[in-house]
């Protein structure tokens, strides 16, 4: 059985629809096909018998409410009846389409008088006579009211096919390459000015945000109607080449190919090269649609030699093994995308491209080195090396490119520091203080005195970096305290530390108060972490493969309890996701607990009275929603987690933290008196939706009945590899929200859960999705 949704269909070929229908008839009874279209003929062809469902637009009142929200400030309560009368006339021309209402509303938001509104209704909107189709005149009017610097930016977007996920930074780099971006202030970077342009087009509803915009990394799309408008207004200069096209208009200035087909380029080469004045040549297809052929080097050479005026050249995903050395003939080139190719070495001639601003080499997994004279690329601002996993070093002289804004990978040679004059060290990063976004430093040396080398990177002055990854070469000396010299700027939002062999992670970690995500992994000799609980912005924390770590916090539990009692919001106030994975020696959260006059380690707490005492004062995570404890079998004491909502995953780890959290109310503990994340009190774990129990080290014969009194929101329960588990508690039958139960490698339980005959069948028969292996 299937549900197939075909959205915004334009194909009017009846024969092709009949072929598709023949294939779909093999589906099981109950299969459905949903088709949306703007063309009545398509509806008649695809569904000649059943009646379609014409979708109505917004009502007049709804349309006016939306227009009012777009055109007026929120605090403006009273609006004159004249404004409303003019607005109601205009929304009728929008035919109830929200996109048209929003865009015309943004135009009207700049007009403050009734006369200006009347002019738009009676003159401007009436004069848009070129487009008669539906709401297109309204959208065209919105375009006409764009300032000139935004018109060219919007029109250029017609080079991307419909429903294409456009990378924001890529588009900005292309705009800059074409000279569309002009800075009003020499102190402003063009990329920031372009970002403002983008935000204004987004605000005016010419773009639709799809991915959350983290700096410059977000993705967005254009509504199909806006794409139609972009193609209309750019029809003289821009062409989105169809794969069935027999020729390409040689007068066009910007060409885009939403496909890659070797035969097309070879068959149409003579036509393509006639368009020798083009400024843009891009391949606008998605990564998963790469054609698995290889373009001939002779074809590439012919294209390069013909397009002398190119500003932007995109050759990504062509399976190229080498870039022709004639690339240096493109003296005007500012944007070059060579990503996802099999290039091992770039030609030295590429360094003659003195106007080149953007060089993309991401996913060139065979690339071994960058050009020796890379410093000759004096205009370079963006060097994308993401996932160039075979790079051996950075060239000496890279640090002279002080205008660099993007350098997401910096690889140090595995040889001794300074062993080769062609290999740049961390000092190359010293003056690159305009770097933004992500920086990964790979193969950091493990040295007993690495301070001078590390300090040379000058990470603290790189204020625009948001993401920093530090990866050490696991071979070498133990770099005790060497991390101190790698302190980044306090604005950092993401930090990853990998394979550091020092005993202690640097204390500067505690002052990164803007940190949102922290990952520390494979630091096998690390025994001490700095205090993390007051990182007020931290939402995700992952500690992975830390063999030497016994306690998450080196101090006394009461130190953190005191802070929590003074203000509960100071103990990991924003933490939502916590991963503890592969920390085989991790015993507890705190190294010691001060019980009155008696100090003890958390690992020695065992008696009921001791348990009650510590439970009464145990801090808890106020916002934690996801917790994964994997392969941490000794971890028995940690802060409680009553507000988990998304998932709790326990693999080869003790059940003690789970038991203590569920029982926190029964203990009469202070933890239960703290307010939960919601406005009203709810029992611990009553919001949890998914619970995974796998390879539990205790001799677990049954799950405690009292657990299931709390787990009222549970939707998924997985029990894997618990061979001693003999039965399920009666409480499972009362979990009315449970949609999925999976039991694997639990032989005794499998027998008891046998359909209709098993002793526990009545407890689980109400669950829709049962998987018992």
**pLDDT tens, residue by residue, 691-747:** 999 998 777 788 888 888 889 999 999 999 988 888 899 999 999 999 999 999 998
pLDDT in tens, 16-47: 888 888 888 877 788 888 888 877 778 888 77
pLDDT in tens, 218-271: 889 999 889 999 999 999 999 988 766 667 788 889 999 886 666 677 777 777
pLDDT at position 673: 39
pLDDT in tens, 186-214: 889 999 999 999 999 998 889 988 777 66
pLDDT at position 595: 43
pLDDT at position 42: 82
pLDDT at position 50: 64
Long-range contacts of 191-198 (CB under 8 A, 24+ apart): 191/216, 191/381, 191/405, 197/149, 197/150, 197/153, 198/153, 198/168, 198/171, 198/172
- Strand 588-595 with 598-600, pairing: antiparallel
Burial tier of 537 (Cβ tally within 10 Å: 0-12, 13-18, 19+): middle
pTM to 2 decimals? 0.84
Provide mean pLDDT across the span 629-637: 92
Residue 123 DSSP symbol:
I
Q: Cβ distance 696 to 655 under 8 Å?
A: yes
**Which of 92-101, 434-443, 702-711, 746-755 shows the highest mean pLDDT?**
434-443
Question: What's the Rg (C-alpha) of the chain?
Answer: 31
Query: In this model, does residue 332 exceed pLDDT 60?
Result: yes
Q: How far apart are the first and last CA of the chain?
A: 24
Segment holding 315, helix H or strand E: none
Query: In this model, does residue 597 exceed pLDDT 60?
Result: no
pLDDT at position 481: 63
CA angle at residue 721 from 715 to 726, to 5 degrees? 80
> CA nearest 769: which of 727, 733, 705, 717?
717
Q: What tokens does 222 get?
A: 């254009």
Q: Cβ distance 724 to 749 under 8 Å?
A: no
**Which of 398-402, 473-477, 603-607 shows the highest mean pLDDT?**
398-402
pLDDT at position 623: 94
CB-based contacts of 265, cutoff 8 Å, min separation 6: 272, 295, 299, 303
Token match 């049962």: residue?
Answer: 770
pLDDT at position 675: 45
pLDDT in tens, 393-410: 999 999 999 999 999 999
- How many residues are recorded in the chain? 773
Distances (CA, A) of 512 to 5, 28, 533, 560: 47, 57, 12, 18
Query: In this model, does residue 310 exceed pLDDT 80?
Result: yes
pLDDT at position 372: 94
Q: Which of 33-37, 130-134, 436-440, 573-577 has the lowest mean pLDDT?
A: 130-134
């Amino acid at each position: 059985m299937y549900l197939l949704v075909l959205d915004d269909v334009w194909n009017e070929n009846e024969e092709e629809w009949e072929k598709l229908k023949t294939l779909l008839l093999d589906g099981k009874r109950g299969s459905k096909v949903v088709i949306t279209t703007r063309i009545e003929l398509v509806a008649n062809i695809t569904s000649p018998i059943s009646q379609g469902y014409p979708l109505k637009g917004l009502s007049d009142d709804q349309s006016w409410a939306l227009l009012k929200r777009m055109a007026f400030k929120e605090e403006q309560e009273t609006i004159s009846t004249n404004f409303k009368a003019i607005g109601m006339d205009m929304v009728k021309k929008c035919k109830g389409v929200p996109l048209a209402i929003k865009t015309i509303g943004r135009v009207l938001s700049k007009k403050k008088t009734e006369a200006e509104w009347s002019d738009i209704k009676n003159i401007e909107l009436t004069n848009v006579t070129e487009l008669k189709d539906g709401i297109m005149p309204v959208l065209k009017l919105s375009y006409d009211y764009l300032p000139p610097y935004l018109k060219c930016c919007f029109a250029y977007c017609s080079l991307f096919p419909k429903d294409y996920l456009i990378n924001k930074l890529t588009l900005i780099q292309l705009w800059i390459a074409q000279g569309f971006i002009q800075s009003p202030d020499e102190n402003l970077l063009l990329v920031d000015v372009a970002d403002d342009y983008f935000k204004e087009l987004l605000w005016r509803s010419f773009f639709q945000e799809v991915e959350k915009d983290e700096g410059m990394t977000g993705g967005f799309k254009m509504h199909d109607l806006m794409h139609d408008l972009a193609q209309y207004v750019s029809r003289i200069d821009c062409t989105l080449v169809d794969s069935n096209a027999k020729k390409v208009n040689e007068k066009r200035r910007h060409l885009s190919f939403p496909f890659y087909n070797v035969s097309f380029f070879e068959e149409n080469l003579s036509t393509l090269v006639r368009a020798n004045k083009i400024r843009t040549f891009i391949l606008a297809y998605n990564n998963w649609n790469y054609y698995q052929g290889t373009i001939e080097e002779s074809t590439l050479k012919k294209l390069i030699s013909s397009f002398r005026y190119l500003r932007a050249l995109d050759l990504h995903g062509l399976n190229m093994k080498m870039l022709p050395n004639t690339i240096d003939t493109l003296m005007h080139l500012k944007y070059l995308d060579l990503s996802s190719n099999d290039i091992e070495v770039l030609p030295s001639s590429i360094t003659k491209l003195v106007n080149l601003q953007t060089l993309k080499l991401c996913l060139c997994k065979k690339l071994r080195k960058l050009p020796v004279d890379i410093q000759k690329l004096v205009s370079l601002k963006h060097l994308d090396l993401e996932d160039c996993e075979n790079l051996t070093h950075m060239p000496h002289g890279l640090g002279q490119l002080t205008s660099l804004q993007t350098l997401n990978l910096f690889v140090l040679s595995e040889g001794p520091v300074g062993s080769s004059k062609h290999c740049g060290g961390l000092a190359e990063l010293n003056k690159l203080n305009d770097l933004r976004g992500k920086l990964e430093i790979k193969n950091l040396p493990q040295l007993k005195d690495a301070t001078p080398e590390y300090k040379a990177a000058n990470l603290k002055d790189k204020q625009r970096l948001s993401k920093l990854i530090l990866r050490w070469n696991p071979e070498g000396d133990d770099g005790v305290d060497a991390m101190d010299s790698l302190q980044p700027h306090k604005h950092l939002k993401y930090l990853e530390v990998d394979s550091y062999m020092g005993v202690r992670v640097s204390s500067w970690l505690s002052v990164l108060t803007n940190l949102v995500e922290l990952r520390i992994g494979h630091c096998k000799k690390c025994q001490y972490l700095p205090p993390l609980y007051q990182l007020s912005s931290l939402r995700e924390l992952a500690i992975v493969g830390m063999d030497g770590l016994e306690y998450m916090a080196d101090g006394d539990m009461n130190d953190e309890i005191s802070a929590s009692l003074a203000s509960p919001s100071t103990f990991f106030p924003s933490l939502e996701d916590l991963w503890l994975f592969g920390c085989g020696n991790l015993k507890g959260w705190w190294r010691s607990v001060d019980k009155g006059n008696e100090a003890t380690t958390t690992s020695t707490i065992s008696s009921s009275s001791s348990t009650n005492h510590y439970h009464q004062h145990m801090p808890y995570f106020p916002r934690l929603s996801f917790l994964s404890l994997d392969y941490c079998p000794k971890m028995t004491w940690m802060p409680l987690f009553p507000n988990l909502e998304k998932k709790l995953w326990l693999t080869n780890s003790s059940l003690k933290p789970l038991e203590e959290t569920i029982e926190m109310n029964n203990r009469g503990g202070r933890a239960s008196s703290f307010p939960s994340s919601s406005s009203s009190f709810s029992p611990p774990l009553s919001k949890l939706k998914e619970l995974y129990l796998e390879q539990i080290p205790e001799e677990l014969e049954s799950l405690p009945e009292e657990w299931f009194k709390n787990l009222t929101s549970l939707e998924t329960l997985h029990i894997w590899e618990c061979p001693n588990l003999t039965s399920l508690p009666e409480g499972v039958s009362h979990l009315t929200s449970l949609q999925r139960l999976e039991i694997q490698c639990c032989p005794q339980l499998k027998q008891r859960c046998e359909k209709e005959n098993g002793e526990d069948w009545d407890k689980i028969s109400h669950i829709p999705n049962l998987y018992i292996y």
